[in-house]
Structures are given as C-alpha cells and as structure tokens.
C-alpha cells in the first residue's frame, strides 16, 4: 500500500468477522471442556450419590409380613381367616388438583377432608389415604381415575361365622395384632414370618412387587380348636334364649368332654360381631368364661359331699339334723329354703340344704375343706390356653372364721371361673381325675402338617372311683322328681347335675337381696358321661333359681348335642317309669 493511503474498509470488516469467529470457536471449545469436566464429575465422582437419589425416588424397601394363619374348629371349619383387600395411597407429586381430589375422596371414604388435602399437598412421594377399604369404595374411586392416586394390595382379618365363638377366637387391631382371645394368646404363631424386600415405582408413581405372593409363602400357622361349630351354635342359641326369656344381664355356657377336658363349646351372651367389633362395648370382647370369676352357690356342695365320703366321714345314707331350716353360726343365722329336720347326705344334695352342707364342713374341719377345694382346681389358674386365666378367689383357711367356713361350704365367700367349675364337675363325671381344660387341639403349619399336638393331660386324681360313683348317684337325684333341677330331666338319658343360686355382693357391702347368679352344672349319661354342660345366667330380675333359669338351657344343649353326635339313650323310659 502506498504511503499516506487509508486501509481498505472491506479488509477491516473481514478482519473483525474473523476475530469474532475465532472468539466463538474458543468459547465453544471452553464450554465443551466445561461440559466434559462436569460429565466426568457426574459419571465418576458423583455417580454413587446420584444413584442413591434416583433409588430413593423410584425404589423403596419394605417389610413383608406373612399372611396371618387361620383359626379353625375341630372339623377344620374356618372361624378366622385373612383375606385380600385393597388400601388406597397417593403420590402427592403426581396429584393434579389436591383440593378437588381430597373433597371427592373424603366423600367416598368417610375420612377427614382437611387432613387428606394437607397430605395430598405435601412434598412426599408416598402417603396413605385409607387402609383396608371395602370393594364398593374401591369401585367408586376407580371411576374417577384420579391422577397420583393408586391402590395397594392389603390384608384384612375376617370371621366368616360372624358371632360364633367370637369371645374365644378374639379379635385383631388394624395393625393385624391380636387384641383378645386366641388371636392375642397365639399372636406370634399366627403372624408368620417377615422378610425385607425392594419394590419399584413406575412413571405413574405406582409401586410393583411380588409382595402378595410372598405373603402366602410366609403365612403363619393354623390353630385348630377343640370347639365344634355345631355344638357351639347349639350352646349359643340355648344361652341366648335363657338370657332373653329371663331378661338377664348376661350369660355363659360351656360344653366339655369329661374324659379329656376338651371344650366343645364356650358361649357368651350378649354376643358381638368381630368383623365390626368397634361397634360394640369392650366388655363383650373378652372371654368371660375364663376371666370373670363369680360365687358358685350350691354347686359347691357336691365337692363337700365328695370330700366327706373320701375321708370316710359320711356315706350317702348318713343322716344329719338340719335344724328345721334355721341354724346359728357365730353371730349369723343361716337358712334353708325349706324347714328340713333329718336328711341323709344324698338328700342334702338333692334338696340343696345349706345347713346340711355346714354340718359336713364342721365335721371335716376348715383345713380339709380348703384342701378339697384346692384339689379340685379352685383358687389357682385352670391352665387353659386362653389369656386372662383367672385363679378365682379361695383365701387360705388360716383366715377363715366359723361363718366363713360355713359360707364356703355352700358357695359363698369363694369365687370361681366357669371353666374351673365345669372342669371340677367333669372330674366327678370321669371317675375322679382332674384334667387340664383344653381349647386347642393342635397347631398346623402352612402346609397342613401338625407342628404341635395338644394331648389330654391328667393333673391328678382328686377322689376315688368309688366315691365318684356315689356322688354321681346323688347328682342324678337332683334331676329326678323332688330334686331342684327336674326341668333338666331329659327323656331317655340319665342326666346328673347340681343347681346353684348365688346372691351377688352388694356395692354397699354384704349380699344383695335382688341380684343373683343362677347356674346349673351337669353331665350325661350317668354311667359313661359323654358331655358335661354348665350354664350361668347373671342377674335374672324375677325368678333366680338355677333349676328354673339355667337347667332348661342345659337340657336343650344336651338334647340337641346328643342328637348331633348320635349318642344313643341310656335309659329305657318305660322300665324306669314302671319302677
């Protein structure tokens, strides 16, 4: 270029463009280097941390509990089972309109709308909406196809027989744990195994796993009861009729096999439906035949008579002066319902003389009376496989006054549970051996194999066979003409029994003159007893005698149970009538 001449403008322009291009190229190279370095950092140095974050978003660890085992009767009829149901949950991050969704779900499920909306507006990826929903509720929810709302397989405890043996089997809470009865006592065995597993979530926020199949594999053991559902039904209906007819407060009934101690029925009134147990008062849930002791009244007289003969103090034909119905013990006066003069031991039991029982206790002494009652299982737990096994109340004889000894001989000042009483009666029925009462026959694993059998267990011999035969004969007289339980006499069968009418303790002290417990304990047939039955009716307001209130129910249970079990009559009624 010549000196003094200006540079060409076009050349300057090209130089500027080239400079900018060069700058952009280097800038791009720099950005690429930064991205490469970041990629290296992410892939190598932050890989573990980011993987964990991703897993938290799409993978969860949960504990799977095996399906709860079944409870069945002795014939494998199902009383308690676990069935599949659905629970509804949400991924709040996927919910489109929390307010509208909460409003509609609250209407369908009957849950608190404000609390539900708060949960749906949270930043969590999983929240429960309602556990164990009904089929109708799930169908209504499915119709709306809510975003972020999904169902999860769940389990619910179900009692297909409803009220049948409900107090025996018991109940479970919403968490599946036993709250009462066998469900509580054998909670660990029924629960089955647990296992920790991983579940994955899809793009819609729903979790998938093999949880359902695994629950079946981890299922708990099955408990087989000694209960017979048919006899349980018979006992419940007979008891319900007695309680209703006499407008009583409540009642209990037990049916036992005397030779083994197996309980075929354990009924309560009023009943409750365990499928909706929260709709009923808590007092109905427990097994009162085991947990609630009561004063047994004159049923105690058979044990006093047994002791007197075992100790050779008296024979069935020994006679006792019964003071014309009035007898003073210390500062107290004891009465009989009739003014008896001389009675044999057999008549004392037949007519249920309080004074006759006192005379026997005075001869044997309080120590022997105490040891006899203790030997028959009173004053200690029965050993039955149920929670709340009550020992009742039998204070030591050192603390007995003269009137205490007298009262205990006819069933006051002592309390027993229903299972203790029927078990003691069964000891007389089977020839003198006290058995351990049993409500469980066996435990089976999920494959149906017997894991643990429960065999009959003899506790001790309490009286000799000859004494037992004599007591049976006395108890047979109670049901025959002139006895206190003629309403229990069953055509064709030799029923043996003893009535009880016990005054209840008054809230102000002493005994109430208007509140009674009426009961009747019996077994049949006489020679080889197949069944022993006890019915206890609490606070019938009008007639309160055991022979009037409880005996007819016992007769009904015997009659229908013998027919069901095909137990033949043991009496030729025509011959007996002629005799």
Instruction: With beta carbons less than 8 A apart as the criterion, state whether 264 and 227 touch.
Output: yes
Instruction: With beta carbons less than 8 A apart as the criterion, state whether 228 and 530 touch.
Output: no
Structure tokens given for 515: 């509140």
Instruction: With beta carbons less than 8 A apart as the criterion, state whether 136 and 84 touch.
Output: no
Judging by beta carbons within 10 Å of its beta carbon (0-12, 13-18, 19+), is residue 49 exposed, middle or buried? Answer: exposed
The span from the CA of 337 to the CA of 545, in Å, is 11
Judging by beta carbons within 10 Å of its beta carbon (0-12, 13-18, 19+), is residue 398 exposed, middle or buried? Answer: exposed
Alpha-helix residue ranges (DSSP H) falling in 130-287: 135-144, 166-169, 181-185, 187-191, 211-217, 229-245
DSSP three-state, residue 32: helix
Structure tokens given for 469: 């035969």
Structure tokens given for 127: 């929240």
Q: How far is CA 427 from the centre of its chain?
A: 26
Greatest Cα pair distance in the chain? 165
Q: Give the HSE-up count for residue 345: Cα atoms under 13 Å, Cβ half-sphere.
A: 24
Q: Is 298 a catalytic residue?
A: yes
The span from the CA of 345 to the CA of 314, in Å, is 8
Q: Which residues contact 368 (CB under 8 A, 6 or more apart)?
A: 307, 311
Rg (CA), the chain: 38
The span from the CA of 434 to the CA of 430, in Å, is 9
The count of other CB atoms within 10 Å of the CB of residue 126 is 15
Catalytic residue among 87, 298, 409, 426: 298
DSSP three-state, residue 429: helix
- Strand 149-158 and strand 78-90: pairing? antiparallel
Q: Give the HSE-up count for residue 247: Cα atoms under 13 Å, Cβ half-sphere.
A: 4
Structure tokens given for 345: 């031991």
Q: Which residues form the catalytic set? A: 298
């Amino acid at each position: 270029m010549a000196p003094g001449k200006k540079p060409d403008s076009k050349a300057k322009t090209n130089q500027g463009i080239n400079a900018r291009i060069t700058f952009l190229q280097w800038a791009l190279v720099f950005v690429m280097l930064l991205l490469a370095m970041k990629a290296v950092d992410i892939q190598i140095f932050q890989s573990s941390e980011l993987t964990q974050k991703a897993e938290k978003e799409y993978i969860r660890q949960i504990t799977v509990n095996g399906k709860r085992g079944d409870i069945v009767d002795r014939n494998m009829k199902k009383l308690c089972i676990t069935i599949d149901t659905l629970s509804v949950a949400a991924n709040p991050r996927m919910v489109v309109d929390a307010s509208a969704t909460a409003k509609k779900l609250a209407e369908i499920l009957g849950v608190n709308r404000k609390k539900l909306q708060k949960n749906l507006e949270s930043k969590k990826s999983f929240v429960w909406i309602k556990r164990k929903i009904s089929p109708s509720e799930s169908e209504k929810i499915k119709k709306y196809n809510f975003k972020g709302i999904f169902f999860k397989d769940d389990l619910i405890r179900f009692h297909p027989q409803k009220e049948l043996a409900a107090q025996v089997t018991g109940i479970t809470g919403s968490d599946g744990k036993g709250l009462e009865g066998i469900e509580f006592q054998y909670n660990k065995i029924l629960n089955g195994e647990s296992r920790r597993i991983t579940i994955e979530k899809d793009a819609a926020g729903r979790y998938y796993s093999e949880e359902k199949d695994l629950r079946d594999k981890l299922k708990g053991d099955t408990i087989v009861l000694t209960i017979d559902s048919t006899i349980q039904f018979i006992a419940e209906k007979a008891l319900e009729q007695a309680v209703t007819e006499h407008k009583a407060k409540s009642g209990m009934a037990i049916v036992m096999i005397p030779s083994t101690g197996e309980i075929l029925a354990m009924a309560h009134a009023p009943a409750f439906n365990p499928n909706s147990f929260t709709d009923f008062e808590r007092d109905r849930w427990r097994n009162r035949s085991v947990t609630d002791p009561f004063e047994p009244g004159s049923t105690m007289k058979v044990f006093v008579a047994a002791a007197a003969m075992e100790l050779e103090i008296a024979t069935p034909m020994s006679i006792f002066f019964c003071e014309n119905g009035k007898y003073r013990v210390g500062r107290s006066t004891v009465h009989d319902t009739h003014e008896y003069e001389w009675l044999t031991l057999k008549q004392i039991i037949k007519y249920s003389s309080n004074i006759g029982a006192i005379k026997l206790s005075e001869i044997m002494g309080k120590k022997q009376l105490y040891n006899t009652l203790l030997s028959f299982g009173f004053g200690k737990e029965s050993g039955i496989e149920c929670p709340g096994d009550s020992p009742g109340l039998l204070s030591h004889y050192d603390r007995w006054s003269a009137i205490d000894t007298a009262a205990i001989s006819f069933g006051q000042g002592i309390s027993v549970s229903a299972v203790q009483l029927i078990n003691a009666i069964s000891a007389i029925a089977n020839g003198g051996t006290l058995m351990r009462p049993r409500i469980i026959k066996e435990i089976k694993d999920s494959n149906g194999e017997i894991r643990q059998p429960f065999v009959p267990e003899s506790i001790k011999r309490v009286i000799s066979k000859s004494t037992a035969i004599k007591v049976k004969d006395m108890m047979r007289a109670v049901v025959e003409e002139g006895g206190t339980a003629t309403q229990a006499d069953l055509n064709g069968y030799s029923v043996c029994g003893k009535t009880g009418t016990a005054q209840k303790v008054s809230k102000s002290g002493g005994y109430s003159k208007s509140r009674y417990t009426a009961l009747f304990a019996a077994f049949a047939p006489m020679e080889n007893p197949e069944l022993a039955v006890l019915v206890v009716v609490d606070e019938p307001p009008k007639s309160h005698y055991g022979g009037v209130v409880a005996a007819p129910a016992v007769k009904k249970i015997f009659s229908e149970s013998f027919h069901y079990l095909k137990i033949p009559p043991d009496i030729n009624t025509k011959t007996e009538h002629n005799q």
